[in-house]
Structure 1
Amino acid sequence: MSLHQLLQEPPYDAEQQDKQRIYEQVINSLSDTADNKMKEVCSNLDTDQQDALMRYIYKGLENCDNSLKLLKWHGHLSDVAGLGCIMRIMSEKRKRVL
């Protein structure tokens, strides 16, 4: 499944094992993407997908999963989506958990 598809409908209300499976697929997809393609991928996502990707990036950083690559993704996504992406995630009243 492509990253675009994985981010289309994040499993916010799914069972924990389903969330974990999709999280691992997203992290693997991010890890497999060449550095020079990151900005292009981020640009091709809509706002909801960008927000979901940022949530996965933060979860990956929290879990120390390939932190260097995730920091690169964070930089590219922040450039494309702006600080609003980060602010929406940090200021939500109801945390969406992935």
Structure 2
Amino acid sequence: MSDWRRIDIDAFDPESGRLTSKDIEPPYPSQVTLQELSTKISQLRSLASSGDAKSAVALAVSDPPYSGDESTKNEYFKVVLETLSNVRQADISGIVSGLTPIQQDVLVKYLYKGMSIPEGQKQGGILLAWFERVTQVAGVRPVSHFINDRNTV
């Protein structure tokens, strides 16, 4: 016992359960498919085309498909990007103010995803405008939640 700093004290505690990767997975029931999202996607497109940008953005960032596969998430992201692109610059602050903190967190996740893929980089100015308004309204809280959250959009 000359090197007491290397003792694993958790090994001596019978109630100390080690966490596995299964323990830290988010509790989402099953894999979401694109067919299940088709009604939400059609709702998003109809709201965006009718000019109801506030409802369209609120719907887009509520209940995102965290448990979908990458192709499903990418298809849904394209619709979210269309929705965000159709909003006038003057309306962005009002829309962001009307979102709940959880919806603002999801919006930042979509903004970061957009900035990281080529489809979103083409709309970089729009995404940066949204990002600026979110940080003006909510501060850095959504950014820190994005960094620490395991759920990806």
TM value normalised by structure 2: 0.60
1:7 aligns with 2:51: no
Task: Measure how far apart 1:59 and its partner are.
Answer: 0.6
Task: Measure how far apart 1:4 and its partner are.
Answer: 1.0
Q: Which has the higher contact order (CA 8 A, sep 6+)?
A: 1
SS of the residue corresponding to residue 8 of structure 1 reads coil
1:1-98 paired onto structure 2 within 5 Å = 1=44, 2-63=56-117, 64-92=121-149, 95-98=150-153
1:70 is matched by which residue type in structure 2? Answer: L
Aligned length: 96
Percent sequence identity over matched residues? 24
TM value normalised by structure 1: 0.91
SS of the residue corresponding to residue 72 of structure 1 reads helix
Q: Distance in 2 between matches of 1:83 and 1:34?
A: 24
Aligned to 2:29: none
Consecutive aligned runs of 4 or more in structure 1 exceeding 4 Å deviation: none
Instruction: Report the structure number with the largest CA radius of gyration.
Output: 2
Q: Distance in 2 between matches of 1:53 and 1:65?
A: 18
**Which consecutive residues of structure 2, in runs of 5 or more, have no partner in the other structure?**
1-43, 45-55
2:87 is matched by which residue type in structure 1? Answer: T
Q: Distance in 2 between matches of 1:67 and 1:6?
A: 19
Q: Which has the higher helix share?
A: 1
Task: Deviation per CA, 1:46-76: give whole Å up to 9, x if none.
Answer: 0111000000000101111411110010000
Task: Measure how far apart 1:6 and its partner are.
Answer: 1.6
Q: 1:10 to 1:65 in 2, by over 3 A?
A: farther
